[in-house]
Amino acid sequence: HADLAMYRAKEVGRNNFQFYTPAMNAQVSERLRIESALRNALERDEFVLHYQPQVDLRTGRVVGMEALIRWRHPELGMVSPNRFISLAEETGLIIPIGAWVLRTACLQNKKWQRAGLGHFRIAVNLSARQFAQQDLTQSIADVLEETGLAPHYLDIELTESLIMTDVEHAVEILRSLKALGLQLSIDDFGTGYSSLSYLKRFPIDVLKIDRSFVHDITLDPDDAAIVVSIIALAHNLKLHVIAEGVETQEQFAYLKRHGCDELQGFYFSKPVPAEEFERLLREHKCLALEPEPA
């Protein structure tokens, strides 16, 4: 424990001295507890995917969904990915977990298509470790083959930092992924570092505007300017654009007025378990979205 404490203190302190406090001690043991539990979570079948609809702004129809992982921990309850994804990333556990997510998401989507509920895209988040995997393209090809999902229904979400670390290498990987016939999106767009000149070299299809810009879109002229610029940038580059974190009718109307293609957010629906998502599709709630007259 002492070693870990030192390590942790170093990690936190970097160039300055840092006193080691009981609060930090608690943090370390919480981390250790989560890490060891994380190791067993897959075998114990504790992960679950929730699905959040992506809605076409012109028609109000659901056209896609994003698969988002949750951890049903026996004691901690439903644990948000923000609390364990980076740990899974550090420990390498993200590889088997990510493979489970991809397979489960593709299977579920195919099942809904088979049940006649419609044809939807399904987006899956990819982490840095997965992106660095030697056999990434092959493993995705295998899952598509095994689940029978047509490649154009799969959307892989990547972040700017993930592809900007080694641009040459990233371009190569993205090309091989595109060759499978799937769709590529940049998640949380605008929050990371990305050079516009590189943007055109990446074979991507979609920009997802980060929800931090959407939040005050109707209140803060700067945020509004950023969002409108991202929409224009995307369209000029022949890319599709999705706004994340849309919570209000005002945000929805604003985005529609400015030609944004799709929205994802609590305004339409939170991420929900598979059964609930299926109900949402069956009840055609998805078609009820109509802007109020301005």
How far apart CA 126 and CA 110 sit, in angstroms, is: 20
Tokens of 93: 């556990």
Residue 195 binding target from ligand C2E, Mg ion, none, CB below 5 to 8 Å by type: none
Is 246 within 8 Å of 252 (Cβ atoms)? yes
- The smaller minimum CB distance to ligand C2E, of residues 8 and 103, is found at 103
Question: Binding segment for Mg ion among 46-54, 124-132, 164-172, 227-235 (CB under 5 A)?
Answer: 124-132
Closest C-alpha to 100, from 138, 143, 66, 129: 143
| Coil vs helix vs strand at 185 | strand
- The smaller minimum CB distance to Mg ion, of residues 9 and 164, is found at 164
- The smaller minimum CB distance to ligand C2E, of residues 8 and 81, is found at 81
Q: Does 160 participate in binding Mg ion (rule CB under 5 A)?
A: no
Closest C-alpha to 155, from 132, 178, 137, 175: 178
- The smaller minimum CB distance to ligand C2E, of residues 24 and 136, is found at 136
Q: Does 265 participate in binding ligand C2E (rule CB under 6 A)?
A: yes
In this chain, which of 40, 82, 197, 236 binds ligand C2E, going by CB under 6 A? 82
CB of 135 to ligand C2E, least distance (A): 17
In this chain, which of 127, 147, 185, 194 binds ligand C2E, going by CB under 6 A? 127
Listing DSSP states for 143-169 in one string gives HHHHHT--GGGEEEEEEHHHHHSSHHH
- The smaller minimum CB distance to ligand C2E, of residues 101 and 231, is found at 101
Say if strands 47-56 and 262-264 run parallel, antiparallel, or are unpaired: antiparallel
Question: Binding segment for ligand C2E among 6-14, 106-114, 220-228, 264-272 (CB under 6 A)?
Answer: 264-272
How far apart CA 250 and CA 291 sit, in angstroms, is: 9
Q: Does 188 participate in binding ligand C2E (rule CB under 6 A)?
A: yes
Closest C-alpha to 291, from 125, 56, 85: 56
Listing DSSP states for 77-145 in one string gives EEE-GGGTHHHHHHHTTHHHHHHHHHHHHHHHHHHHHHTTS---EEEEE--HHHHT-TTHHHHHHHHHH
Q: Does 125 participate in binding ligand C2E (rule CB under 6 A)?
A: yes
How far apart CA 288 and CA 209 sit, in angstroms, is: 24
Stretch 224-263: interaction string toward Mg ion, x if CB under 5 A: --------------------x-------------------
| Coil vs helix vs strand at 293 | coil
In this chain, which of 55, 85, 217, 263 binds ligand C2E, going by CB under 6 A? 85
Q: Does 125 participate in binding Mg ion (rule CB under 5 A)?
A: yes
| Residue numbers at the binding site for Mg ion (CB under 5 A) | 125, 157, 187-188, 244
| Residue numbers at the binding site for ligand C2E (CB under 6 A) | 52, 68-69, 80-82, 85, 98, 101, 125, 127, 157, 187-188, 211, 244-247, 264-266, 271
